[in-house]
Amino acid sequence: MAVENKETTLSRAQIVAKHREFLLPSIGSHYQDPLPFVSGKGFRLTDSEGREYLDFFGGIVTVSVGHCDEEITERTIAQMRKLQHTSTLFPIEAQAKLAERLASLTPGRLKKSFFTNSGSEADEKAIQLAQAHTGRRTIVALRHCYSGGTPGVQTVTAHSPWRIGEPNAFPVAHAKNAYCYRCPFGKTPSSCSLECAKDLEEVIQTTTSGEIAAFIAEPIQGVGGFITPPADYFKEAVAIARKYGGLFIADEVQTGFGRTGGKWFGIEQYGVEPDLMTGAKGMANGLPIGWVITNDEVATALNGKVHLNTFGGNPISSTAALATLDAMESRDLPGNAKRVGGYFRLRLEELAEKHALIGDVRGMGLMQALELVKDRKTKEPAKQELQRVVEAARENGLVIGKGGLHGNVIRMTPPMTISLAEVDEAIGALDAAFTQVK
- Minimum gap (Å) between residue 149 Cβ and ligand PLP: 6
CB-side neighbour CA atoms (13 Å) of 138: 18
| Size of site (CB under 6 A) for ligand PLP | 15
Looking at 48, 118, 155, 318, which residue binds ligand PLP (CB under 6 A)? 118
Q: Which of 55, 199, 251, 360 binds ligand PLP (CB under 6 A)?
A: 251
CA nearest neighbour of 390 among 21, 40, 18, 28: 28
Q: Would you say 148 or 286 has its CB closer to ligand PLP? A: 148
59, 66, 148, 225: which one contacts ligand PLP (CB under 6 A)? 148
Helices (H) and strands (E) in the chain — how many of each?
13, 15
Whole-angstrom distance, CA of residue 233 vs CA of residue 243: 16
- In whole angstroms, how close is the CB of 2 to ligand PLP at the nearest point? 34
- Compute the least distance from the CB of residue 268 to ligand PLP, in Å: 16
Toward ligand PLP, which CB reaches closer, 234 or 434?
234
Nearer to ligand PLP, 130 or 357 (CB): 130
Q: Distance of alpha carbon 221 from its chain centroid, rounded?
A: 8
Q: Which is nearer to ligand PLP, 249 or 373 (CB)?
A: 249
Q: How far is the CB of 404 from ligand PLP (least distance, A)?
A: 13
**Nearest to ligand PLP of 256, 261 (CB atom):** 256
Nearest CA-CA partner of 122 in 136, 102, 104, 143: 102
The three-class DSSP label of residue 135 is coil
- Quick one: 119 or 341, whose CB is closer to ligand PLP? 119
Q: Is 312 in the site for ligand PLP (CB under 6 A)?
A: no
CA 121/CA 148 separation, integer angstroms: 8
- Number of C-beta neighbours around residue 74 at 10 A: 11
The sheet with strand 358-364 has its strands ordered as 358-364, 367-372, 409-412, 401-403
CA dist 157 and 146 (Å) reads 5
Binding to ligand PLP by residue 197, rule CB under 6 A? no
Q: What three-state secondary structure class fits 221?
A: strand
Other beta carbons less than 10 A from residue 58's beta carbon: 30
Spell 84-103 as b/e; 16+ CB within 10 A means b: eeeebeeebebbeebbebbe
The interface region with ligand PLP, picked from 12-20, 200-208, 247-255, 416-424 by CB under 6 A, is 247-255
CB of 222 to ligand PLP, least distance (A): 4
Specify the residue, 212 or 287, whose C-beta has the smaller distance to ligand PLP. 287
The minimum distance between CB 220 and ligand PLP, in angstroms, equals 9
DSSP state of 369: E
Of the candidate spans 40-48, 84-92, 147-155, 302-310, the one that interacts with ligand PLP by CB under 6 A turns out to be 147-155
Residue closer to ligand PLP (CB basis): 224 or 261: 224
Q: Phi and psi dihedrals of 120, rounded to 5? A: -60, -50
| Interaction residues for ligand PLP, span 265-294 (CB under 6 A) | 280
Each residue 206-225 as x (binds ligand PLP by CB under 6 A) or -, in order, gives ------------x---xx--
Longest CA span, the chain: 67
Helix (H, G, I), strand (E, B) or coil at 172: strand
59 or 222: CB nearest ligand PLP: 222
- The phi, psi pair for 417, rounded to 5°, reads -90, 0
Q: How far is the CB of 148 from ligand PLP (least distance, A)?
A: 3
- Residue selected from 119, 219, 282, 312 as contacting ligand PLP according to rule CB under 6 A: 119
- Give burial (CB, 10 Å; 0-12/13-18/19+) of 435: exposed
Binding piece for ligand PLP, criterion CB under 6 A, among 4-12, 42-50, 118-126, 372-380: 118-126
Task: Give the gyration radius of the chain's Cα atoms.
Answer: 21
Confirm if 351 and 430 have CB atoms less than 8 A apart: yes
Q: Pick from 43, 146, 248, 257 the residue near ligand PLP by CB under 6 A.
A: 146
Pick 149 or 342: Cβ nearer ligand PLP: 149
Q: Work out how close the CB of 421 gets to ligand PLP at its nearest, in angstroms, rounded to a whole number.
A: 29
Q: Which residues bind ligand PLP (CB under 6 A)?
A: 118-120, 123, 146-149, 218, 222-223, 251, 253-254, 280
